[in-house]
Structure 1
């Protein structure tokens, strides 16, 4: 019998005797056909699945998605695949075969959303483009995720995250003046650009569809999204003609807002821009007289502040600085390793490390869903399945 237990906000939710949340997610009525591979599309549809959508992943039977092969593996399953495809059903179809196309055309009448990540025109050549499928289901929301979009001179060009950040201008003012832009540890254009904008576009189009019955084609360009993320720098460039460059702005290394190395070779992040935070910071390092210069954009003043911080922070270990700034509210935090971050009380307290069902009674640790709903909590039901695990259910429907 279900029992009532408090969720992480202290609210009561219905659970089974095993503790499984029974309350449906906010997207429980949404059905998604997912043709995407690698990172951007699968990340987007994983977010939808976590929020309750029924996601059916359509994979090639003979061209393995590279995330299934990418190391490391946990008991034979690639960790990237187990994470990116959690909560999704899987069927295998060769879209070059007419029978497979007819299968998709019969399925699509029952679905709200199609997500695809091929180059422009590929799905249309299969007979599965937006025009063809919307003729079957006029309310269909059809989301295409590509590097450069469905139009423009680069629409058929290959690219990766680093290329989209380069062409969008983002890389030009990131990094250090003497070493240039850094290759980032995360895929900003792929995830913040492609995945998150795809989810926003899909949900906006679904809202429109629910109001009008009209579907539409959502065209997501990762380069567009990266360009839009220029935000304040882009506003200054377009409206005032100011060209940003590395280490020239308040937020990209031109001010004391920066990283500083500790005595033991670790790093401390300093974001104490506002006067109350700057006052605490410079008082802690024994230079309270410098606080007044914090918001002064003059390069010579900022160089003085950075020099003082480098010297002071370099005198103590990271652990020593953590102990000091744990007692301050000064926007100063340690640069943690990823393993350290998973164990941090804030990450743990927000349930951002979760246990996901492997399907054999055991669980795998994964990153949790970042959206917290008070009434319809997200659920990561199970890790990514093997190719075609649900062929019998979906392809042999009698």
Structure 2
């Protein structure tokens, strides 16, 4: 069955992670994606180890389902080629700093003259406007400036460098896809294209969600380990006797009661429901002492049939073998380009 986006054609000028992840999502859902690769510019995603075959594993993954053309955009012939191609494409995705595509002669105003229905998505660190529009940055900087890092991590050690790129992927990639598809719907009604301006800092700021609402409307600034969901309550991770970790998210009364009954801490049920910081810290200490008495495997056996919002912290390789993720086909095998199958993360959006 053709994917739901099989009628769309995407011209992808992006590199690294945010843009390529967004266009991979579009390709996974059926869009035809042509990646424009500069012959004289190294895409770091292509050369960052580890490698599997000819390319870096991340590059092979992000290139899934795409075709590639090499064009030196500083050459007149390449610019002419882009102008010809864009007349047959629905969407352009680019990740240069603001103004770069204009200087190359293939900016939005030029391209929409050739294709009035064109949807042009620019993904940048800070957006097309504002004093930081031309400033360099990476995921860690966007999380810092957006306020996200200020309430993540431990009170005594500060914000952690996260293992995933939240601003790049959840901010840049996902918001780009949402913006593009919203523009597609509008074009269906009006026939007009759009310029979709995605700032990874804007997106990260918006993802503060609950903490942001409390701060802006309620005047309450969230601090590390100071709120219900960031370490200020028993909703946390606990180390097991073998140095592994167990997540406990038993916030609702029925779940906390089941948790504490299972652990032999029934007398602390009122502490679980209390908003008193001392009660929460006392409960955390009791939970930490209990969880430290058994291995992760033992706790998995104990909570296997307990609906208490308690789950093990798994490595990626362990998660890939978890029966839930296997049942959801979240690991797929894809030809890496030489006939050899490569295991990759699957597409999480399902159409039934």
Q: 1:217 & 1:78 partners in 2: Cα distance?
A: 32
CA displacement at 1:28 relative to structure 2: 0.3
2:140 is the counterpart of 1:154: no
What is the aligned counterpart of 2:190 among 201, 209, 212?
212
* Corresponding residue number in structure 2 for 1:233: 211
Q: 1:250 & 1:195 partners in 2: Cα distance?
A: 29
2:159 is the counterpart of 1:185: no
3-state DSSP of counterpart to 1:114: strand
Q: 1:230 & 1:155 partners in 2: Cα distance?
A: 21
What is the aligned counterpart of 2:12 among 34, 48, 71?
34
Q: Could you report, residue by residue, the CA deviation over 1:284-315 in whole angstroms, capped at 9, with x for unpaired residues?
A: 11111212221311110001110110000000
Instruction: Work out whether residues 258 and 271 of structure 1, in 8 Å CA contact, stay in contact via their aligned partners in 2.
Output: yes
* Corresponding residue number in structure 2 for 1:354: 332
Q: 2:338 & 2:136 partners in 1: Cα distance?
A: 40
Q: 1:142 & 1:91 partners in 2: Cα distance?
A: 19
2:262 is the counterpart of 1:284: yes
Q: Could you report, residue by residue, the CA deviation over 1:56-76 in whole angstroms, capped at 9, with x for unpaired residues?
A: 000101112111111111122
What is the aligned counterpart of 1:371 among 334, 349, 352?
349
Q: Could you report, residue by residue, the CA deviation over 1:192-228 in whole angstroms, capped at 9, with x for unpaired residues?
A: 0000000000000011111110001000000000000
2:267 is the counterpart of 1:294: no
Q: CA RMSD in A?
A: 0.7
3-state DSSP of counterpart to 1:33: strand
Q: 1:167 & 1:358 partners in 2: Cα distance?
A: 37
Instruction: Work out whether residues 105 and 133 of structure 1, in 8 Å CA contact, stay in contact via their aligned partners in 2.
Output: yes
5+ residue gaps in structure 1? Answer: 1-22, 375-398
Name which structure has the greater RCO, CA cutoff 8 Å, separation 6+.
Answer: 1
TM-score of the superposed pair, with normalisation by structure 1: 0.88
Q: Which moved more, 1:254-263 or 1:282-291?
A: 282-291
* Corresponding residue number in structure 2 for 1:58: 36
CA displacement at 1:359 relative to structure 2: 4.0
* Corresponding residue number in structure 1 for 2:47: 69
Q: 1:123 & 1:261 partners in 2: Cα distance?
A: 50
* Corresponding residue number in structure 2 for 1:378: none
* Corresponding residue number in structure 1 for 2:72: 94
Q: 1:315 & 1:217 partners in 2: Cα distance?
A: 57
Runs of 4+ aligned structure 1 residues displaced above 4 Å come to none
Q: 1:193 & 1:297 partners in 2: Cα distance?
A: 32
CA displacement at 1:360 relative to structure 2: 4.1
5+ residue gaps in structure 2? Answer: none
* Corresponding residue number in structure 2 for 1:169: 147
The number of residues matched between the two structures is 352
3-state DSSP of counterpart to 1:110: coil
Q: 1:211 & 1:85 partners in 2: Cα distance?
A: 32
2:27 is the counterpart of 1:49: yes
